[in-house]
Chain A
């Protein structure tokens, strides 16, 4: 048994993991990154449309700042987010993008003068300022008051991930590729590293570390139709759950993206609509204004996806031999725009649909896209339940997205969280709690337990096929725990998933090939995916309200009085997850609950909302001419950030 000792074990080589590793390295620690695949192939590379940061350089973004970004994000979250964390995020995002600009990301830039843009279906002229020429530009995205999504054509995630990966290579950070963490090593109080399976040769090994950070991305593949990479199976969240100590939060908050191409489920970016694209129904009627007169196609994703499904259910879909769908129309943007700003979209349409989007409509339908839930952390990125365990990026529930994430906020979160968590890890390692004394027996036991489990799977020789069971799980999730949910379907889903878990114990492998053995991989992952699916389904069943992406047809209203709470799951070794809740404190919110500006207008208010709103209004009035004091009085947050990230962000209007 090989054991590798390191200061910091970062599980995941996407944007979050790479940036956290760089942070730890710069504080003098030795990090190792693990990744299922070559790091640059992590799913972050597939992010297309943009990264939100309130630079306010372009005309569409004029007047933007952290306050507006904060408010948009809280509205987007349907008040499910931790507002302190949203503040930390909005404040750090401009720094993140500027750092990436320094390191080499070729962000698209503002070009001075007049340009034709498409707004609300019509061509109009927009003038860019002289002074902004050459600064980072931005495009419009859903649920935002300003053009704030900075972009690199529609290969934003690719450019960001390559730049960060290359930076990490420059700093000599090793990436151990094709290495899968399959269990955390944990002494009951502290996380001490992970048991890892080499996916190239099938061997087990152990990594011990003073700090372990899970940055493994989302778990979209528990659903049948998902925009996610096929490696997005949530194994990081699952192994945290299996410690029985760490907790997952808000697992029922699952986002469905409006525009996945139909039927393949491959994403075409929200940038299509941000740049002026429209949604049309089977009769080629632009239907979104009928549902959302203000934001139309650019309401938040949860709202647009629901309208689309509702419209299809009302019989207005277009039909194809694969089923019903709607159309995305970007013809009006013109081929020059598509050739320069939406190149990946064009390629995807060409290869997977045989469609030229400059001249033809794109068939789309909502598909699972993003996991708001994940490993619960505090604002520093550490698990409040298991010392030495950190999480960042989509795998975490740091909780800046609440029940719905805004487009462009996720790659931004991944990098910002990496910047912050890298520092927290270094602080932890420098503190007495960061010492690690791990017994070799503990490590050996953890490895032996995994080896036994793998052997048991290989030897159980049952009749079930792992692939059939995986499909059954995905079908249950898509059919019963999807965009529209209700008590009956959710209760059935919970039962079906429990049955599948039982059947998974009767999987018989058909291959016992030495080495990687992809069928064995599918089998040990399925058990863990089923646990995550159970957390999602049970959380959704118990949450008898509608909030953000979690919509209950039988409880269509947001219910702040009962449900302004974060769901926490843990697994104590039994057959089902245990669920409890932590309250969100209205009296500490900078932005008390209200209407989002789109979507349903009626909700059941929290008893404290009125009082808090009065306080907030008063304080805002009292400090109306001093932004810093106002923030201190309303909701201080700067103290939560590492010292070097606290300075204000300069904008064009601040320059002489």
Chain B
């Protein structure tokens, strides 16, 4: 029997949630404790909604797809960044501590502004295909062929859902506010791999060749540990660092 099945239904869970509403001038950050009877198959999505519906209607948190796909619900779950929607309470101890993901502007309680952060990252790293020829893209003609393995390799990195867990787990991001994080470096790795993007290493170097980019990473590997999509972040960052070092040497 799995851990989950053993625990189901038997426990009174205790949720210790870090509360703060910046829209309320009287609000100060505090921990609030709720108890909730555990149900079979209960996820943090189900639990938090029950708390809001029956115990405290002001509780703020974000869910969208509730299926581990959209990346809205990253939070600290017993100190560790993760997606709340697909975390089963049965896999957690009886006392569950929830806090907003660090590194992002707080909207309220467990809701943080990852969207603004990610948009800033995209603008800064120009996370789109750069190709002059796109102006004249002929959409009536056959598409450009691509090796099947190459398409799959790009998708491997494309799977990032910008949930922010890697930023919340990153020592460098906590120290340098402008560090682009594993999420940003992974984007660079993704476009670098893409033959449709005509940028060269010198161009990427200009974007991430400093302390706020690939040389800011202290290789603590927190990012890869917590990535809900199991992206090979550490390998990608290490590889990118070598390429960027080579780029600077080539430039002389």
Within 8 Å of chain A (Cβ to Cβ): is B118?
Answer: yes
Of the listed stretches A241-249, A510-518, A605-613, chain B binds A510-518
Whether A134 lies near B147 (C-beta < 8 A) is: yes
Within 8 Å of chain A (Cβ to Cβ): is B146?
Answer: yes
- Report the bound CA distance from A159 to B157 in whole Å: 11
Q: Which of B64, B86, B129 contacts A229 (CB 8 A)?
A: B64
B194 to chain A, nearest CB (A): 6
Within 8 Å of chain A (Cβ to Cβ): is B40?
Answer: yes
A103 with B147, Cβ < 8 A, contacts A38-B114, A515-B24 known: no
Within 8 Å of chain A (Cβ to Cβ): is B148?
Answer: yes
Chain B residue numbers with a CB within 8 Å of A155 are: 155, 158-159
Q: Which of A102, A110, A202, A347 contacts B68 (CB 8 A)?
A: A347
Of the listed stretches B53-61, B95-103, B207-215, chain A binds B53-61
Within 8 Å of chain A (Cβ to Cβ): is B140?
Answer: yes
Within 8 Å of chain A (Cβ to Cβ): is B70?
Answer: yes
A515 with B140, Cβ < 8 A, contacts A134-B147, A155-B155, A264-B41 known: no
Whether B155 lies near A106 (C-beta < 8 A) is: yes
Kindly supply a per-residue 1/0 record for chain A positions 69-104, scoring 1 wherever the CB is within 8 Å of any chain B CB and 0 otherwise: 000000000000000000000000001111101111
Q: Which of A266, A513, A648, A655 contacts B140 (CB 8 A)?
A: A648
Chain A residue numbers with a CB within 8 Å of B4 are: 354
- Report the bound CA distance from A41 to B146 in whole Å: 28
- Report the bound CA distance from A163 to B88 in whole Å: 32
Chain B residue numbers with a CB within 8 Å of A177 are: 115-116, 119
- Report the bound CA distance from A267 to B68 in whole Å: 12
Within 8 Å of chain B (Cβ to Cβ): is A40?
Answer: yes
What is the interface of chain B mostly: helix, strand, loop, or mixed? loop
Chain A residue numbers with a CB within 8 Å of B60 are: 516, 518
- Report the bound CA distance from A18 to B222 in whole Å: 34
Kindly supply a per-residue 1/0 record for chain B positions 140-162, scoring 1 wherever the CB is within 8 Å of any chain A CB and 0 otherwise: 11111111100110110011011
Q: Which of A37, A97, A344 contacts B115 (CB 8 A)?
A: A37
Chain A residue numbers with a CB within 8 Å of B126 are: 170
Chain A residue numbers with a CB within 8 Å of B64 are: 37, 41-43, 229-231
Kindly supply a per-residue 1/0 record for chain B positions 201-231, scoring 1 wherever the CB is within 8 Å of any chain A CB and 0 otherwise: 0000000000000000000000000000000
Whether A518 lies near B57 (C-beta < 8 A) is: yes
Whether B71 lies near A41 (C-beta < 8 A) is: yes
Whether B23 lies near A99 (C-beta < 8 A) is: no
Within 8 Å of chain A (Cβ to Cβ): is B247?
Answer: no
- Report the bound CA distance from A646 to B151 in whole Å: 29
Q: Which of B70, B107, B155 contacts A152 (CB 8 A)?
A: B155
Whether B148 lies near A110 (C-beta < 8 A) is: yes
- Report the bound CA distance from A652 to B145 in whole Å: 12
- Report the bound CA distance from A106 to B43 in whole Å: 32
Q: Which of B86, B88, B128 has the most CB of A within 10 A?
A: B128
Task: Select from chain B the residue with minimum beta-carbon distance to A137.
Answer: B148
- Report the bound CA distance from A352 to B41 in whole Å: 8
Within 8 Å of chain B (Cβ to Cβ): is A562?
Answer: no
Chain A residue numbers with a CB within 8 Å of B18 are: none
Task: Select from chain B the residue with minimum beta-carbon distance to A471.
Answer: B53
Kindly supply a per-residue 1/0 record for chain A positions 636-656, scoring 1 wherever the CB is within 8 Å of any chain B CB and 0 otherwise: 000000000001111110010
Chain B residue numbers with a CB within 8 Å of A513 are: 21, 23-24, 58
- Report the bound CA distance from A37 to B65 in whole Å: 11
Within 8 Å of chain B (Cβ to Cβ): is A162?
Answer: yes
- Report the bound CA distance from A133 to B22 in whole Å: 56
Within 8 Å of chain B (Cβ to Cβ): is A200?
Answer: yes
A316-375 contacts to B (CB < 8 Å): 321, 340, 343-344, 347-348, 351-352, 354
Whether B115 lies near A514 (C-beta < 8 A) is: no
Q: Which of A102, A264, A321, A649 contacts B134 (CB 8 A)?
A: A102
Q: Which of B4, B24, B140 has the most CB of A within 10 A?
A: B140
Chain B residue numbers with a CB within 8 Å of A344 are: 69
Task: Select from chain B the residue with minimum beta-carbon distance to A103.
Answer: B129
Task: Select from chain A the residue with minimum beta-carbon distance to B127.
Answer: A166
Whether A169 lies near B128 (C-beta < 8 A) is: yes
Whether A510 lies near B115 (C-beta < 8 A) is: no
Within 8 Å of chain A (Cβ to Cβ): is B52?
Answer: yes
Task: Select from chain B the residue with minimum beta-carbon distance to A47.
Answer: B69
Whether A516 lies near B108 (C-beta < 8 A) is: yes
Q: Which of B21, B63, B128 contacts A167 (CB 8 A)?
A: B128
Kindly supply a per-residue 1/0 record for chain B positions 28-50, scoring 1 wherever the CB is within 8 Å of any chain A CB and 0 otherwise: 00000000000011010000000
Whether B67 lies near A348 (C-beta < 8 A) is: yes
Q: Which of A99, A134, A158, A167 contacts B146 (CB 8 A)?
A: A134
Whether B72 lies near A41 (C-beta < 8 A) is: yes
Kindly supply a per-residue 1/0 record for chain A positions 102-120, scoring 1 wherever the CB is within 8 Å of any chain B CB and 0 otherwise: 1110111111000000000
Kindly supply a per-residue 1/0 record for chain A positions 168-182, scoring 1 wherever the CB is within 8 Å of any chain B CB and 0 otherwise: 011000010110000
- Report the bound CA distance from A518 to B53 in whole Å: 10
Q: Which of A37, A45, A98, A519 contacts B143 (CB 8 A)?
A: A98
Chain B residue numbers with a CB within 8 Å of A305 are: none
Whether B56 lies near A135 (C-beta < 8 A) is: no
Within 8 Å of chain B (Cβ to Cβ): is A201?
Answer: yes
A561-582 contacts to B (CB < 8 Å): none
Within 8 Å of chain A (Cβ to Cβ): is B250?
Answer: no
Whether A109 lies near B148 (C-beta < 8 A) is: yes
Kindly supply a per-residue 1/0 record for chain A positions 127-170, scoring 1 wherever the CB is within 8 Å of any chain B CB and 0 otherwise: 00000011111000000000000001101001100110011011
Enumerate chain B interface residues (CB-CB to A < 8 A).
2, 4-5, 21-24, 40-41, 43, 52-54, 56-60, 62-72, 86, 88, 107-108, 111, 113-116, 118-119, 122-123, 126-129, 131, 134, 137, 139-148, 151-152, 154-155, 158-159, 161-162, 191, 194, 196-197
Sorted nearest first, the 7 A-B pairs with minimum C-beta distance are A515-B23, A38-B115, A134-B145, A511-B57, A519-B57, A511-B58, A513-B58
Pairs A–B under 8 Å by Cβ, sample size 6: A99-B137, A103-B129, A106-B152, A108-B155, A109-B146, A158-B158
